Amino acid sequence: MAAKNYRHALFCAIVTLIISFPILGFNLEAKGISVTLTGAETSTVIAVVLAAVAVFVFQAYRDSFTGLLGKLPRLNPLAGREPMEQAKKAKLESWILTGIVVLALFWPFVVSRGSVDLATLVLIYIMLALGLNVVVGLAGLLDLGYVAFYAVGAYTFALLSQYTGISFWMALPIGALLAALFGLMLGFPVLRLRGDYLAIVTLGFGEIIRILLNNWTTLTGGPNGIGGIPEPTLFGMEFGRRVKEEGNTSFHETFGIAYSGEHKVIFLYLIALVLAVITALIIRRFMRMPVGRAWEALREDEIAARSLGLSRTAVKLSAFTIGAFFAGFAGTVFASKQGFISPESFVFLESAIILAIVVLGGMGSQLGVILAAIAVTILPELAREFSEYRMLIFGAAMVLMMIWRPQGLLPMRRIHIKLNRQE
């Protein structure tokens, strides 16, 4: 037994060396048209060797490690609680959410402009993640092309403002509805596909939208994108130093205060906050409505749900469309915040980030998703020197979550009583 363990450990260590040494140990450098090869720094080589040694030690003494782990107390305080206590937990969750919102209302007036800007981005991600949470978390449909609906919302606003001079408030419902329409159109044929096929089809759809945006130069400006997207107004009051459009007044003149660039940023933040809260509330209602229960029923057991008379297509389609709707919502806000959009902002990685937020937060759980969105957007900003490792850590975190905690950090809890089978 021991000899076999060592053999396996040695094999694993060698594999570690093989997969890391050539890629990490040599650097390809392009000089003109020729490529030269340089060895990496000694520290990298040492790190690779150390990693191999670590793998060897871990694999060789694997049994003792797992034995030790098994002796640790179980980290699951929720197991075996009474349903009453879970109801209290749900109440606590809504109190925490309210607290976050109240805090967020006052927060922009005390911090710097940069952090308000970042917070607006966080709110956009929260909207996106809440929308995707409906599709992936509640209905169990893996959508890898979610960013396409985000792009539809953003481009709708950008194009309409460019060609017809539409305002933000008009574009918001139009963008969201158009995104929902796209969701409906894509969803109708593809929703009868099995889970993993659906994932690939939505991925293909997302890529098609991006390629179209990139190449339909006459309409979308291609890779150059569209600029000059107007900012939102408050009852016809603009936030710029000078009024751009006839008939509008400017905010600082109306109220007789000095002009400040911060007004605009804070206003955008507050709009995003209101919209995010609306998104969260609407989805919360949906979750308690029959259609929300139907999403979950279909996710848990499709055959049982269908035999109880649920229409598979209608239920899935509603989830897909609602998810797309909120992506369109977020897209419009994003376009308005940036003032400029290009296909660069709507790549597959963006879909993967939103998916990672939903997965990390706990599929189906609103509080979890909101906290994950905050963490995923803010952490890389806090640790700037590690920011290039962000995606590497993301990928690894997704894998590790699936292995150890597929239900997410704060999984959704339904009040339920588990009946034990009587033998």
Partner 1 sequence: MQDLLYFSQQLINGLTIGSAYALIAIGYTMVYGIIGMINFAHGEIYMIGAYTALIAITGLTALGLAWLPLILIVALLCAMIVSSSMGWAVERVAYRPVRGRHRLIPLISAIGMSIFLQNYVHLAQGSRNVGFPALIEGGFNFSADGAFEMSLSYMQITIFITTLICMTALSLFISRSRTGRACRAVSQDLGMASLLGIDTNRIISATFVIGAALAAVAGLLLGMYYGSVDPLFGFIAGLKAFTAAVLGGIGSIPGAMLGGLILGVSESMTSGYLSGEYKDVVSFGLLILILLFKPTGLLGKPEVEKI
Name the residues that contact partner 1, by CB under 8 A. Answer: 15-16, 18-19, 22-24, 26-28, 30, 33-37, 140, 142, 144, 189-190, 193-197, 199-201, 203-205, 207-208, 211-212, 214-215, 303, 348-349, 352, 355-356, 359, 388-389, 391-392, 394-399, 401-403, 406
* Strand, coil or helix: 347: coil
- Looking at the Cβ atoms of 84 and 403, the one nearer to partner 1 is 403
> Do 154 and 341 contact (CB within 8 A), yes or no?
yes
Q: Check: CB of residue 169 under 8 Å from CB of residue 248.
A: no
Measured torsion, CA atoms of residues 119, 125, 126, 128, in degrees rounded to the nearest 10: 150
State which residue, 204 or 228, has the beta carbon closest to partner 1. Answer: 204
Question: Rounded to 5, what percent of the chain is helix, strand, coil?
Answer: 75, 5, 25
Residues with Cβ within 8 Å of 216's Cβ and at least 6 positions away in sequence, in order, are 222
> What does the H/E/C string look like for 127-174?
HHHHHHHHHHHHCCCCCCCCHHHHHHHHHHHHHHHHHHCCCHHHHHHH
Contact (CB, 8 A) for 101 and 352: no
- Shortest Cβ distance from residue 396 to partner 1 (Å)? 5
Please identify, using beta-carbon distances, which residue of 282 and 347 lies nearer to partner 1.
Answer: 347
Least Å from the CB of residue 224 to partner 1: 15
Strand partners, 26: 39
Helix (H, G, I), strand (E, B) or coil at 241: coil
289: exposed, middle or buried (C-beta count within 10 Å: 0-12, 13-18, 19+)?
exposed
Q: Residue 215 CB, nearest distance to partner 1 (Å)?
A: 4
CB of 314 to partner 1, least distance (A): 19
CA distance 179 to 325: 5
In angstroms, give the least distance from the CB of 16 to partner 1: 8
Spatial separation of the C-alpha atoms in residues 219 and 365, rounded to whole Å: 39
- The backbone region for 228, taken as left when phi is positive above 0, alpha when psi lies in -120 to 50, beta otherwise, is left
Measured from the CB of residue 251, what is the shortest distance to partner 1 in angstroms?
A: 42
Nearer to partner 1 (CB atom), residue 39 or residue 165: 39
Least gap, CB of 179 to partner 1 (angstroms) = 19
**Pick from 326, 368, 289, 294: nearest CA to 90:** 368
Least separation in angstroms between residue 24's CB and partner 1 is 5
Which lies closer to partner 1 via its Cβ, residue 169 or residue 216? 216
Q: Which is nearer to partner 1, 61 or 348 (CB)?
A: 348
For residue 209, count other CB atoms closer than 10 A to its CB: 22
CA-to-CA distance for 74 and 52, rounded, in angstroms? 30
Which CB sits closer to partner 1, 258 or 403?
403
Q: Which is nearer to partner 1, 47 or 105 (CB)?
A: 47
Q: Minimum CB separation from partner 1 for residue 192, in Å?
A: 9
Which residue lies nearer to partner 1 by CB, 95 or 197? 197
Q: What is the DSSP letter of 111?
A: S
Q: To the nearest whole angstrom, how small is the minimum distance from the Cβ of residue 18 to partner 1? A: 4
Nearer to partner 1, 16 or 336 (CB): 16
CA angle 398, 400, 404 (to 5 degrees): 125
Q: Closer to partner 1 by CB, 245 or 301: give it.
A: 301
From the CB of 211, what's the least distance to partner 1, in Å? 5
- Beta-strand pair 26-31/34-39: antiparallel
